[in-house]
Chains A and B, each alone.
Chain A
């Protein structure tokens, strides 16, 4: 057991943090449901962080580290598909890469995507997107969302890819995005309740708030290590468990983090929603926590 990055992995992590640090600030007078991080995306691509998975000495745990760090930015960027999935499933697909598991719903990043990967049962297909394929939709969830035309969906080309392997990587990616967003949201809320005074003292000194934030911290640390272990082992069961845990926890923590931010957290001028509403958007991915749990049960104890 070793819970630390190697020196090489730590060097890459430091570089990712340095890059992310340049994108931590929320633009002044921002009052939107989401900010798309085009500049951040370009810098990530130019720095080669989408390729860490293929470097044997960096591997999947470093890819998870990249996702965790980038998911802490207030702006959203397509990070997990390009870092964790594209290198193994469709390395030549133009990016940004949207991931579609339910074509009846709006899909994250479609308005900016150059291609889309479709998971339908045990079939995997790829669509190279062209102008007019996507209609952007406004969403409360803090990602750019779009819907795909039927014509574009009809162009989907089956690719040789293991659907279960795609699902495994996707689960790790969803869980890692939740984990990174939770980290940022917890830090923001901890700062807020430390500064905000009511009844003559800081909100964060009230035990009712301390205990619930402590439980949020437990959920964060738990999901982080479940995710890293799943990424390290390649186990489908561990990936399903990590994703189930993260999606389950996200439901509860979003409520608490908003609760402690009061009306301040309801405004678009305050940045909490960039992370909480991203987590909410991720709750339903791949069928949600229930589907992940069912899959984990099948893998642990056999199909029904």
Chain B
């Protein structure tokens, strides 16, 4: 066992930190208070990601021929930790960096690779994922948005919801139904300016421009937009989401929020209180537990092992860390939620998502019960 970073990993983290420190404006916490989906961060991300790409810090874990640098699973995650804790200056582009790009490289046609991968590697495009529907959330396989073949074209009708980044995204990774059951789902890569798409932002607690409804009304797309084979979506997204199975390194920002709250409490002399100190340490313990369980999953990934239910253990611990950190802030630094601190406000908005997005906490508990504890169904 060894829980230290290697020299190479430390050097990589230092490079990322230097780059972030150099490129983020002093008022970035204020600018990014609306979250990574806000218009301000999305605009900022277009220049920031371009610079990151030139520094080799946008897609270092991708294959070299597509702009990558052969970085390891841990370096990929170190990059994610530093970016997320800095307020995610990549905006919604972290999605294309983390899973959309590598999925297109694995399953896309040569034409799709050439069309979509370079703009991602150069940091100049934003995607959204058309997964959830009003009737298909945790039960994603029940989705009903239908794509019907008409000659060499498809006509798509239906609705997506909770779609992050849809308002400003250029392209959608869209799941549609072309047949029955899990084998009847197909993916289309669709430009968001295609006729027949309507996007409506849903005002939310989690940050500006974050969640949307997307309507597809007789949207016609050519056959070439189909990604993978018809009916192949389930196996593709299982692969794609395995790249995201430990999710966002939210514990990094949760810990930063706890540290910020401690600084504020110290400044006004309230950190002398034993109850406050105990509660801060408890929040810290939850953040560190989430960190260790996430690294445990990365250790498997770095060894090329298949996904295990321990990813769900990590995801559950991350949600608990977010909850613990925000509850500490709400109890002892409530003014932060009323505009006194941009970072704590932004963290609070984003933290509530941790137990809902990308697989609800209860789904993770189901997976732990059935796959890790092997309890009967």
Contact = CB atoms under 8 A, between A and B. Distances in A.
Contacts of B4: 1, 233
A304 B362 contact: no
A205 B377 CA distance: 5
10 contacts: A1-B298, A210-B370, A211-B366, A218-B368, A225-B296, A240-B281, A241-B288, A245-B285, A290-B278, A301-B280
Interface core residue of A4, A190, A304 (most chain B CB under 10 Å): A304
Contact of A228 (B3, B310, B362): B3
A226 interface: yes
A61 B1 contact: yes
Interface string A155-190: 000000000000000000000000000000010001
Given A210-B370, A217-B368, A225-B292, 15 more contacts: A4-B1, A6-B1, A61-B1, A194-B376, A214-B365, A214-B368, A217-B372, A218-B313, A225-B289, A225-B293, A225-B295, A244-B282, A294-B278, A301-B262, A301-B271
A296 B284 contact: yes
A225 B298 CA distance: 14
Nearest to A197: B376
Contacts of A255: none
B8 to A, nearest CB: 12
A122 interface: no
Contact of B284 (A61, A222, A248, A300): A300
Contacts of A294: 274, 277-278, 281
A199 interface: no
B299 to A, nearest CB: 4
A213 B279 CA distance: 25
A241 B283 CA distance: 10
A251 to B, nearest CB: 12
Interface string A221-262: 111011011001100001011101100100000000000000
B366 A244 contact: no
A300 B2 contact: no
A248 B365 CA distance: 20
A304 B1 CA distance: 35
Interface core residue of B1, B2, B5, B74 (most chain A CB under 10 Å): B1
Interface of A: 1-6, 9, 61, 186, 190, 193-194, 201-202, 204-205, 207, 209-211, 213-215, 217-218, 221-223, 225-226, 228-229, 232-233, 238, 240-242, 244-245, 248, 290, 292-294, 296-298, 300-301, 304
B285 A214 contact: no
A293 B376 contact: no
Nearest to B377: A205
B292 A226 contact: yes
Chain A interface helix/strand/loop/mixed: helix
A109 B366 CA distance: 40
Given A210-B366, A213-B373, A296 B285 contact: yes
A226 B295 CA distance: 11
A253 to B, nearest CB: 13
A293 B256 CA distance: 18
B317 interface: yes
Contacts of B302: 1
B161 interface: no
B289 A245 contact: yes
Given A1-B295, A221-B313, A300-B284, A233 B3 contact: yes
Contacts of A232: 1-3
A96 to B, nearest CB: 28
A294 B278 CA distance: 5
Nearest to A202: B376
B22 interface: no
B369 interface: yes
A4 B284 CA distance: 25
